[in-house]
Chains A and B, each alone.
Chain A
Amino acid sequence: MKRHVSAIIDDEPLEFLCDDGQTLLDVLRDVLHKTGTKEGCGTGDCGACSVQLNGRLVCACLVLAAEAEGARVDTVEGIAAEGELHPLQRRFLEQAALQCGVCTPGFLVAAKALLERNNDPSEEEVRYWLAGNLCRCTGYDKIVRSVLDAAADLRGETA
């Protein structure tokens, strides 16, 4: 028998049916068709499936969908509120911080979680915070710079 779960996903109250053993990632991608959240490993080692669960950064592949009952889930698809890009998204584009782009949703969600807690991180803080998000294309340079620049945007230090 399927389980019925209600959750707030990307600011929308949603209901879904899932198997008890299904992960939140499986449900986001295969049931709700929110494929913006990617799967790179399924074991919590790559960060491509990063989402915030009740404001906490987690890997959706290591959360059971059933655990999301009553929870708030924020994915990459909710970052651009009403179509307006978040400073992180804008900076990623301006700085060419993505090449293939498959890790990008996870990086954006993770970086947003960082900037919500600390809008003035050092380079080292950014690098350690994002150590669970693997990128194989960029060597991280432009990603880290984008996060630092977006932080400055959020502090109102840039135009």
Chain B
Amino acid sequence: MRYEVANTVEEAVAILGQAESGLYPLAGGTDLLAQIRSGRVAPDGVVDLKRIPELREIVADDAGYRIGAAVSGAELGEHHDLVADWPGVVEAAELIGSTQIQGRASMGGNLCNASPAADSVPALIAAGALCSIVGPGGRREVAVEDVVTGPGKTCLAPGEIVAHFSLSRPQPRSGDAYLRLIPRSEMDIAVVGVGVGLTLDADGVCIACRVALGAVAPTPLVVPDAAATLVGRSVSGAALDDLATAASAAAQPIDDMRGTREYRVHVTGVLARRAAMIAAERAGS
């Protein structure tokens, strides 16, 4: 297996874009190297993207944040402004694996690994994040919810990589949250994950909401029907019941060793309610 280093986005695209290169992009490597080890994938080589500045930086300006796709979870957690503005996104990224995994794992890798259970993806979707994709055909901006097309599959063309994520500055009285259910307290893959981002008006009425689900469908789901249950209402009582019902209704999970279909449907509603309450509390404070 070959190891190549790209120092710029252009270099990365050039190496990866060679027809039938058989090379995989390497960010944190916490999924890829484990998959190579277990024999699930056998690339001819990897292209290390961690020396590309754009992929390694968090840039904050008035418009918002540009988060390099290879920034590690630990680095996200150390960015105080980002944590203050998008706590749900950061907490989701920080739930990926152990402290050791946090030292390496990135949101770009989490997205492109395209697991239905990726923790950071529902949170990014709920936050309305975009990602900047660069490839042989140039650069394009895609909503995060449009990237994953199936288990292990993305909309990325050969040679394309995710360079960075964009998050706007949150609207006043906004909050986001991500919750997942795992059997242990750490180190597990989400059985269900729910991200909620919402904005309140001065009276505490929800005026905008996004809800995204993980591990309950072949891809992370964005669920407008669930979000709509909160809009125009205060985030409590019957509105939360309706949210839970709508979130559960949107879930289309399978039975597997991590949880039954029935269980996942139920827990989707429970977590949607709890995540919305946390997001609302954050929005109100």
Chain A interface residues (CB < 8 Å from chain B): 3, 19-21, 23, 42-45, 47, 50, 53, 56-59, 61-64, 66-67, 110, 113-114, 128-133
Contacts A20-B45, A62-B29, A63-B29; A132 near B2 (Cβ below 8 A): no
Q: Among residues 234 to 268 in chain B, which have CB atoms less than 8 Å away from a CB atom of chain A?
A: none
B45 touches A132 (CB 8 A): no
Q: Is the CB of A43 within 8 A of B38?
A: yes
In the complex, the answer to whether A131 meets B33 with C-beta atoms within 8 Å is: no
Shortest C-beta distance, B35 to chain A (Å), equals 9
B100 lies within 8 A of chain A by Cβ: yes
**Contact at B72–A56, with CB atoms within 8 Å?**
yes
Q: Please, which residues of chain B bring their CB within 8 A of the CB of A44?
A: 30, 33-34, 97-98, 100-101
Contact of A132 among B34, B36, B72, B101 (CB under 8 A): B101
Which of chain B's residues have a CB closer than 8 A to the CB of A114? 99
Shortest CB-to-CB span from B12 to chain A, Å, is 15
Which residue on B lies nearest to A129, using beta carbons? B99
Residues of B at the A interface (CB closer than 8 Å) are 1-3, 26, 29-30, 33-34, 36-38, 45-46, 48, 50, 72, 74, 97-104, 185-187
Contact residue among A20, A61, A64, A131 (Cβ-Cβ distance under 8 Å from B98): A131
Report the Cα distance A56→B102, complex, angstroms: 9
List residues of chain A with CB within 8 A of the CB of B74: 56
Number of residue pairs across A and B with beta carbons under 8 Å? 86
Across the interface, do B103 and A43 meet the contact criterion of CB distance under 8 Å? no
Q: Which of B48, B103, B185, B187 contacts A56 (CB 8 A)?
A: B103
Name the CB-closest residue of A to B102.
Answer: A57
User: Is the pair B100, A47 in contact by a Cβ cutoff of 8 Å?
Assistant: yes
Across chains A and B, which 8 residue pairs bring their CB atoms closest together, nearest first? Answer: A132-B98, A21-B1, A131-B186, A20-B3, A56-B103, A66-B3, A58-B103, A43-B34
Say how far B269's CB is from chain A's closest CB, in angstroms: 27
A21–B3 CB distance below 8 A: yes
In Å, the complex CA distance between A69 and B2 comes to 15
Contacts of B30 in A (CB 8 A): 44, 59, 62
Q: List 6 A-B contacts (CB under 8 A).
A: A44-B33, A57-B99, A59-B98, A63-B104, A67-B50, A114-B99
Q: CA of A10 to CA of B187 in the docked complex: distance in angstroms?
A: 28
B26 to chain A: which residues have CB within 8 Å? Answer: 64
Q: Contact check: which of B3, B29, B34, B36 meets A3 at CB < 8 Å?
A: B3
Q: How far is the CA of A9 from the CA of B100 in the complex (A)?
A: 18
Tell me, rounded to whole Å, the shortest Cβ–Cβ distance linking B249 to chain A. Answer: 34
Residues of B within 8 Å of A131, CB to CB, are 98-99, 185-187
Closest-by-CB residue of B relative to A114 is: B99
Q: Is the CB of B1 within 8 A of A67?
A: no
In Å, the complex CA distance between A55 and B67 comes to 21
On whether A47 and B98 interact (CB within 8 A), knowing A56-B74, A132-B187, the answer reads: yes
User: Contact between B101 and A59 (Cβ–Cβ < 8 Å)?
Assistant: yes
The answer to whether B37 and A45 have CB atoms under 8 Å apart is no
**Min CB–CB distance B138 → chain A (angstroms):** 29
Chain B contacts for A61, CB-based, 8 A = 33, 37
* A130 to B98 Cα, complex, angstroms: 8
- A131-B185, A131-B186 given as contacts; is B100 within 8 A of A58 (CB)? yes
The one of A19, A20, A42, A50 that contacts B100, using a Cβ cutoff of 8 Å: A50
